[in-house]
């Protein structure tokens, strides 16, 4: 019954609303008519919430009011075979006149629609007082979250707040400063959190909650404390007409304290039970070591780690079919590919990170004490993620031997096995293999994404996917690692180790200080390690793009040659060594300007008071 209700709710929130959203209220019926009935009032609220990003839509297939969310394939962790808007972000050819995607207009439209709802919902006499309060809080959440995403993408924005603006008319107003934007957004998130339920009832699962509002506040404050937005000289030229800088001119270390406190508040509430969330864990060491506990986070619906989550409905094919290998055996698209840089990020089973950097020629710098090797082949056993989690023993390249469980739970490599199969026949991800490229959606890197594949889904010979699935917009693990990062910046790493190690332990990885004893005294080392932890823990969840940007490292990690294995081997009988060789599959361009999106030129033409982001 719950699945039926959820399916109906998703349709209401997503597919039935596009034409409704594209019209002004008086194009359909008067506002009095809309807000006269409970049903039409509820539909209007669903429309408002639908303006929030569909974070699962990395393929950018959405239309009308939606705009896709390309930040996994546009980042250094992934490469999608199908050529869409993220390719423009990868090669740096987008511009203010022709942006890869226009996030600006639909998000401001969402603000307008939320304000229409807030100004009129009290007209609905069919609502009970508690419903009126809850629905108003949900609309306020949509309003502030549209502001939030605008700020995360563009930096300083025009704060509309509760004003009812007409998007078809010119708004002659300057951007508010970054400090003003952060101050209002974080306070509004804090305020609306008090009016939202800690957790929604089952039939409303996926709607805004107190936990979600507080979680995004934590992320915003961490973002604001980071290098990109905290005294970045690149933005110094962007000012108001009176010369007031739009971006902070000087770094403020106290922002890390504010970020740490915001994360710790959530942790304290979850530990006290006032928020019913926490890290999804298992008492079974065996399950942790096999990656089963980590896998459960992404296949168990509405589990306690998901602070903000959505049911993507039919888009679940993205999780199972899009990354599945080509050929008759799987009938997938082999679209969702993993870069060699991301493969290199995973630790060994002993907790050590094998690749510590790269030479100017792109060759990996290897920690010789890690046990890592890129030489030869051997027979070893790895976890598998079919319905029995039975494990697989076979011969494979030593690069993939003795890696941490999150690697095996997230990435498929050649001569390994696909997760949701009943047989242990290895896959061959080269040009001539049975699972090699057959069309434009080919696997370009020699690695495919399996993190979200359900052990019980099948794509061939029968097409049977586990349709009811949640997309992890925001996880409790992020709150924990937000706190850890902030404490490292405050030189208080030791205070946060318990939370850092909790994330590692549930994934079968040794405690950080047991592997790197100097982590509490060497800030440079601790910074390297927490960044690597986030890169691995949140891989392919749309976090890496924003992390690399706020740390200002994307001009290095997402610029230049991107590597994978040599899928374009010379012949079917080519030696293994030809495939197992690091080769560039493309050259990317990431300029400093790309740390923020360009405000669409069409918008600036309408409002010349808007100062453009530098470099666009």
Token pair, residue 81, equals 């075979």
Token pair, residue 436, equals 């090699």
Domain-located, residue 442: yes
- Of the three residues 471, 486, 521, the one that is the final residue of a domain is 471
Residue-wise pLDDT for 36-66, tens only, equals 999 999 999 999 999 999 999 888 875 545 6
3-state secondary structure 585-606: EEEECCCHHHHCCCCCHHHHHH
**What secondary structure does DSSP assign to 444-493, as a single string?**
SSSEEE-TT--TT-B-SSS-B------EEEEEHHHHHHHHHHHHHHTT-G
Domain-located, residue 92: no
Cβ atoms within 10 Å of 173's Cβ, excluding its own:
13
CB 600 within 8 A of CB 99: yes
Domain-located, residue 554: no
**3-state SS, residue 309:** strand
Dihedral sign of CA atoms 35, 38, 42, 43 in order: negative
Domain-located, residue 209: no
Domain-located, residue 143: yes
Angle at 340 between CA 596 and CA 291, to 5 degrees: 100
Angle at 274 between CA 273 and CA 279, to 5 degrees: 50
Residue-wise pLDDT for 55-110, tens only, equals 998 888 755 456 789 999 999 999 997 667 888 899 989 999 999 989 999 999 99
DSSP state of 572: T
Higher model confidence: residue 443 or residue 492? 492
| Structural domain boundaries, residue 462 | 314-471
Count the domains in the chain.
2
CATH number of the domain that residue 5 is part of: 1.25.40
Q: What is the mean pLDDT of residues 581-592?
A: 96
Task: Tell me how far the alpha carbon of residue 323 is from its chain's centroid.
Answer: 17
Cβ atoms within 10 Å of 5's Cβ, excluding its own:
13
Residue-wise pLDDT for 514-542, tens only, equals 999 999 999 999 999 999 999 999 999 99
What pLDDT does 108 receive? Answer: 95
The Cα 5–Cα 455 span in angstroms is 24
Residue-wise pLDDT for 392-435, tens only, equals 999 999 999 999 999 999 999 999 999 977 667 899 998 876 66
**Percent of residues, the chain, with pLDDT higher than 90:** 77
Domain-located, residue 132: yes
Domain-located, residue 309: no
Nearest to 45 by CA among 100, 121, 112, 103: 121
- Of the three residues 471, 490, 510, the one that is the final residue of a domain is 471
Q: Which long-range contacts (CB under 8 A, 24 or more apart) does 375-381 make?
A: 377/576
Domain-located, residue 200: no
Work out the pLDDT band at 458, boundaries 50, 70, 90: confident
Nearest to 120 by CA among 139, 143, 105, 141: 139
- Of the three residues 173, 204, 219, the one that is the final residue of a domain is 173
């Amino acid at each position: 019954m719950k699945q039926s209700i959820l399916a109906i709710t998703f349709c209401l929130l997503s597919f039935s609303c596009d034409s409704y959203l594209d019209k002004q209220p008086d194009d359909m019926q008067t506002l009095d008519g809309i807000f006269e009935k409970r049903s039409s009032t509820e539909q209007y609220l669903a429309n408002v919430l639908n303006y929030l990003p569909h974070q699962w839509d990395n393929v950018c297939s959405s239309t009308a009011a939606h705009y896709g969310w390309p930040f996994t394939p546009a980042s250094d962790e992934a490469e999608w075979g199908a050529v869409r808007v993220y390719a423009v972000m990868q090669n740096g050819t987008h511009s203010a006149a022709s942006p890869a995607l226009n996030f600006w207009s639909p998000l401001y439209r969402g603000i307008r629609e939320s304000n229409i709802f807030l100004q009129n919902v009290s007209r609905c006499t069919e609502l009970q007082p508690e419903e009126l309060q809850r629905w108003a809080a949900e609309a306020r959440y949509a309003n502030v979250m549209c502001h939030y995403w605008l700020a995360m993408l563009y930096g300083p924005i025009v704060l509309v707040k509760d004003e009812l603006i007409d998007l078809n008319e010119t708004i002659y107003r300057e951007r508010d400063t970054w400090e003003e934007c952060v101050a209002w957004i974080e306070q509004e998130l804090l305020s609306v959190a008090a009016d939202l339920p800690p957790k929604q009832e089952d039939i409303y699962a996926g709607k805004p909650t107190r936990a979600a509002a507080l979680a995004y506040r934590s992320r915003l404050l961490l973002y604001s404390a980071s290098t990109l937005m905290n005294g970045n000289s690149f933005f110094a030229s962007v000012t108001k007409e009176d010369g007031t800088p739009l971006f902070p001119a000087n770094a403020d270390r106290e922002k890390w304290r504010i970020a740490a406190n915001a994360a710790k508040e959530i942790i304290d509430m979850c530990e006290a039970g006032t928020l019913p969330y926490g890290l999804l864990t298992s008492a079974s060491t065996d399950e942790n070591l096999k990656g089963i506990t980590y896998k459960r986070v992404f296949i168990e619906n509405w589990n306690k780690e998901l602070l903000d989550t959505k049911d993507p409905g039919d888009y679940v094919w993205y999780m199972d079919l899009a990354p599945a290998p080509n050929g008759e055996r799987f009938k997938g698209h082999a679209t969702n590919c993993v870069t060699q840089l991301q493969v290199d990020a995973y630790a060994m089973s002993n907790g050590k990170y094998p690749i510590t950097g790269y030479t100017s020629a792109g060759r990996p710098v290897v920690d010789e004490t890690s046990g890592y090797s890129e030489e030869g082949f051997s027979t070893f056993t790895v976890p598998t993620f079919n319905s029995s989690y039975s494990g697989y023993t076979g011969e494979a390249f030593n690069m993939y031997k003795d890696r941490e469980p999150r690697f095996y739970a997230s990435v498929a490599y050649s001569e390994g096995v696909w997760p949701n199969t009943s047989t242990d026949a290895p896959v061959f991800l080269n040009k001539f293999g049975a699972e090699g490229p057959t069309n434009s959606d080919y696997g370009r890197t020699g690695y495919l994404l399996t993190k979200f594949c359900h052990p019980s889904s099948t794509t061939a010979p029968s097409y049977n996917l586990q349709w009811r699935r949640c997309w992890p917009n925001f996880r409790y693990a992020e709150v924990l690692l937000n706190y850890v990062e902030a404490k490292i910046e405050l030189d208080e790493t030791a205070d946060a180790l318990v939370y850092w190690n909790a994330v590692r332990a549930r994934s079968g990885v040794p405690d950080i200080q047991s592997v790197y004893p100097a982590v509490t005294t060497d800030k440079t080392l601790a910074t390297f390690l927490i960044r690597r932890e986030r890169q691995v823990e949140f891989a392919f969840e749309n976090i890496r793009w924003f992390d690399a940007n706020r740390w200002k490292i994307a001009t290095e990690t997402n610029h230049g040659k991107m590597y994978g294995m040599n899928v374009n081997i010379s012949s079917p009988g080519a030696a293994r060594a030809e495939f197992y060789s690091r080769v560039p599959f493309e050259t990317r361009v990431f300029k400093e300007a790309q740390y923020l999106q360009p405000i669409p030129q069409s918008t600036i033409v309408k409002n010349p008071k808007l100062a453009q982001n530098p470099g666009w």
